[in-house]
């Protein structure tokens, strides 16, 4: 693994502001353009209305339940993951897309939030869903289920590469979530994706305005070469208004 792909990304205030202002659809498009085709967490729904989330991935991996896992490992990986969370992290759980047992409940969620976690992503089920909703912890999950994780899962390890909802997640990647879902940004691409996503949303703002006024998608989506001057003039006026 190269140095660029290891370690957490540096999230500046400017990058945070940009990535929380653009949609996960835009971010996903920018990643696809760079060959990253599987970065959106498929099939997961937000717990809270109007939910937004951003943080650095702290990964946790479950395997199919096996009674001796805890004694073999000498620790509970779920507890270790939660207790080692630092402010600004998102707990991302690989639960094999299994919807029929909980993967985290209200006590662990409360502890993670107290330690500064930004939220949780699990491709399994959420347990104690109403209680977690009440504490305001942003979560993206496949389902809700009252059974404890031991019904189907054994926590194996944390801060290792995982596969969650069809996405490879490395510790230190950046997770961004909105009302549509959540997306994983490789750490080395963070600044590039933020800049490109903002530029894309400005172009789409122009396209939406023109199409809303009766313009053709042939001219404005994507932007035709003969409309570039029109766009540049529109953007200059927009930027001027923003600085006024």
Kindly report the CA angle at 51 between 15 and 148, in degrees rounded to 5?
115
Helices (H), 75-227: 77-83, 106-114, 129-135, 190-212, 217-220
Instruction: Give the C-alpha separation, 62 to 78, whole Å.
Output: 9
- Domains annotated for the chain, with CATH where assigned, are 3-189 (3.50.30.40), 194-243 (no CATH)
Can you give the C-alpha Rg of the chain in angstroms?
20
pTM over 0.85: yes
Would you give per-residue pLDDT tens digits along the chain (244 residues)? 334 445 677 899 999 999 999 999 999 999 999 999 999 999 999 999 999 999 999 999 999 999 999 888 888 999 999 999 999 999 999 999 999 999 999 999 999 999 999 999 999 999 999 999 999 999 999 999 999 999 999 999 999 999 999 999 999 999 999 999 999 999 999 999 999 999 999 999 999 999 999 999 999 999 999 999 999 999 999 888 766 5
Contact 162, 169 (CB under 8 A): yes
**3-state secondary structure (DSSP) of residue 120:** strand
Q: What is the bridge-based pairing of β-strands 53-64 and 153-158?
A: antiparallel
């Amino acid at each position: 693994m190269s140095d660029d792909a290891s370690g957490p990304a540096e999230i500046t205030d400017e990058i945070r502001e940009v990535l929380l202002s653009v949609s996960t659809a835009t971010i996903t498009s920018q990643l696809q353009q760079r060959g990253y085709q599987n970065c959106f967490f498929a099939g997961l729904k937000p717990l809270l209305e109007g939910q937004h989330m951003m943080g650095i991935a702290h990964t946790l991996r479950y395997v199919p339940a096996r009674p001796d896992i805890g004694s073999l490992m000498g620790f509970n990986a779920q507890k270790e993951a939660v207790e080692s969370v630092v402010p600004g992290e998102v707990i991302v759980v690989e639960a094999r897309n299994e919807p029929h047992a909980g993967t985290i409940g209200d006590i662990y969620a409360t502890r993670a939030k107290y330690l500064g976690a930004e939220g949780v992503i699990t491709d399994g089920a959420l347990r104690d869903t109403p209680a977690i909703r009440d504490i305001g912890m942003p979560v993206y999950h496949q389902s809700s289920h009252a059974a404890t994780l031991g019904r189907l899962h054994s926590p194996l390890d944390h801060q290792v590469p995982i596969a969650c909802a069809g996405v490879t997640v490395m510790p230190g990647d950046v997770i961004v979530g909105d009302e549509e879902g959540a997306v994983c940004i490789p750490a080395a691409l963070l600044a590039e994706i933020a800049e490109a996503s903002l530029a894309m949303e400005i172009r789409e703002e122009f396209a939406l305005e023109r199409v809303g006024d009766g313009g053709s998608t042939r001219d404005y989506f994507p932007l035709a070469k003969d409309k570039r001057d029109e766009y540049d003039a529109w953007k200059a006026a927009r930027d001027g208004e923003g600085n006024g």
